[in-house]
Amino acid sequence: MNKERHVLVVFPHPDDEAFGVSGTLAMHIANGTPITYACLTLGEMGRNLGNPPFATRESLPKIRKKELLKAAEAIGISDLRMLRFRDKTIEFEDDEKMTQLIESLITELNPSLVISFYPGHSVHPDHEATARAVVRAIQRMHKDDRPNLHCVAFSNNHEQEIGPADIMINIEPFAEQKKNAIRAHLSQTAWMLEEMEPKWKAGDKIAMEWLHTERFWTYRFT
C-alpha cells in the first residue's frame, strides 16, 4: 500500500465506512497517514430499529451518531466531519452545492487519496449521488493536481461492467479494528453480526475472506 499524504473518505451513511474500507483506513492510520471522514447524513431513515424496536424514527439519528463516533474511535479516525444532510435526500440537493462541498474539503485537506463509492455501481441513491459529487469535484481539478480516487462498488452487475477490482488489500492485521467498527454500528449490524460472529470465531473460509479483503476500483478520469 502506498504511503499517502492525507486520505479523505466521503460516504453518506454511518456504517458505510465499516464494511468495505475500515481495515484499509486502520492500515493508513498505522502508517501515520491522517484521515478525514466526511459522513454526509446520520442515517436518519434506516429501517433497522431493533426487534422488538428499541429506537424510533426520531431517536435513531441520536443513536447512530453515537455509533459513528464509536466506529471512528475503533478505526482510529480523529477527524470525523458530520455534515448534517438528511438520509435519502442527497440526490435531490443542488448538484453544484454538493460539488463545491467536496471541492472545499479537497482544498482544505489536500488529500493524495480520496475514497468513496463508484458512481453507477453503488446501489443506494445516496451512495450514487455522493459518488457523482466526488467525481465532479475531482474531474474539475487540473489533471496534475488531482488526488487518486479509489471507489467501492457492489451493484449486481459491477464486475461485468467495470471488471474486477484493481486494488485488493489484505487487511488481516487490522481485522479487530474492522470487526469493532462493524460492532460499533450495532443498531444496523445486529442481524448481520448474529450470523457472522460465529463464523469469524470458527474461521469459516468465506467469512474470513470477506472480512480480510477490501476491494477498490481506481476511478479513471477522462
- Contacting positions for another protein (CB under 8 A): 45-54, 56-59, 61, 88, 123-126, 155-156
Q: What's the min distance (Å) between Cβ of 89 and another protein?
A: 10
Nearer to another protein, 106 or 152 (CB): 152
Nearer residue to another protein within complex by CB, 11 or 174 = 11
Q: Are residues 17 and 64 in contact, defined by beta-carbon separation less than 8 angstroms?
A: no
Query: Which residues neighbour 99 within 8 Å (Cβ) at sequence distance 6 or greater?
Result: 133, 136, 137, 140
Of the two residues 84 and 205, which places its CB atom closer to another protein in the complex? Answer: 84
Instruction: Write down the least CB distance from residue 175 to another protein, Å.
Output: 25
Q: Cell 460499533: give the residue.
A: 184
Q: Minimal distance in Å, beta carbon 215 to another protein?
A: 17
Please, what is the minimum distance in Å from the beta carbon of residue 47 to another protein? 4
Taking the complex as a whole, the smallest distance from the CB of residue 114 to another protein amounts, in Å, to 23
- Residue 126 or 214: the one with the smaller Cβ distance to another protein is 126
Gap between the Cα atoms of 38 and 183, Å rounded: 20
Nearer to another protein, 13 or 215 (CB): 13
Radius of gyration of the chain, Cα coordinates, nearest whole angstrom = 17
Running DSSP on this structure, what letter comes out for residue 90?
G
Alpha helices by DSSP H, listed for the chain, are 16-30, 60-75, 95-109, 125-139, 158-162, 175-184, 186-202, 205-212
